[in-house]
Structure 1
Amino acid sequence: MKMRVEIDPNIKEGEVIIRAPEFTKNITEIQELIKRQNATQKVMTFYSGSTEFYLEVGDILFFETEDRQVRAHTENQLYTTHQRLYELEENLPIEFIRISKSCIVNVNKILALTKSLSNCLVQFQNSHKQVYASRRYYKSLQEHLKKLR
């Protein structure tokens, strides 16, 4: 597949055009990636107690469910969000991936993976926080890391 980028300072808004002889699975995947990236909220609202915080999504290490609440973890803080995990999975940028039934991680923040027989320990950069990836999601996590790195 060829790719071409044209820069024109006179254009007000960027446009992506895909030209192909037929509609294939690759084209569908490219469309979904572009839609997901464009639809991404760069800043989300989080809560800690009665205070609202507006944080960039890229600062989040991972989201997890605990006690029927979705919690967002940054390097040093813990916030809650009113969105469900499945809603976040649909709306977050492509660098976020589900690694277990109750956790979504930001692969750009992963420092190390330690595999054992039953699961995989995920450690994050500049943080003591860690989570476990289930065996079911481990392969997709590895593939996602290879794509984005």
Structure 2
Amino acid sequence: MKVKLEIDPDNQESVVIIKANKITPEIERLYHKLQDESSHPDQITGIRDNKAYYLDLNQILFFETADKQVMAHTTDHSYAVKYKLYELENLLGGQFMRVSKSTILNLDQIYALTRSISNCQIQFHESYKTVYVSRRYYRDLRNKLDERRTN
């Protein structure tokens, strides 16, 4: 596959065009990845101590519901967000995945998986925080992690 970049100062808007003689799994994966990148925000607003913080999505470890409030967790703090989990699922890109009824995690922040008979525990880079994956979501999580590793 060739990759070509053309810079034109007269362009008002950037456009990405994929030219192929047929749709292959590689082309389809590339197309979906570009779609995900272009339609999702880079930041989300979180509230802590009556202050609004603009959180980079790459720094968020996971989102979870607690007492009817959705919280965004980073390595050091947690922030209230104005979205419900199902809204976040639609808003966030492919780096996030629901892993239980009350949790969406950032796949890029996973450090380790510990599997037991009843559940799976997720540990994150440079954080003491952990999340549990329900049995219902475990297989999808493993498949998504394997798919990301092979790309």
Q: Considering the TM-score relative to the shorter chain, is it more than 0.5?
A: yes
Q: How does 1:1-149 map to 2 (within 5 A)?
A: 3-10=1-8, 12=11, 13-17=14-18, 19=20, 31-149=31-149
In structure 1, give the amino acid aligned to 2:78. L
Q: Which amino acid aligns with 1:71?
A: M
Q: Which amino acid aligns with 2:141?
A: L
Partner SS state of residue 137, structure 1: helix
Rounded to whole Å, the distance in 2 between the matches of 1:36 and 1:9 is: 23
Q: Which runs of 5+ in 2 are unaligned?
A: none
Compared with structure 1, are the counterparts of its residues 121 and 15 closer, same or farther at alpha carbon in structure 2 (3 Å cutoff)? same
Q: CA deviation at 1:73?
A: 0.3
Q: Is the 8 A contact 1:36 1:91 kept in 2?
A: no
Q: Per-residue deviation at 1:19? A: 4.1
Secondary structure (helix, strand or coil) at the match of 2:90 reads helix
Residue identity over aligned pairs, in percent, reads 38
In structure 2, what is the Cα distance between the partners aligned to 1:145 and 1:89? 17
Once residues 133 and 118 of structure 1 are traced to their aligned partners in structure 2, the CA distance between those partners, rounded to angstroms, is 10
CA offset at residue 145 of structure 1?
1.1
**Aligned partners of 1:95 and 1:148 also within 8 Å:** no
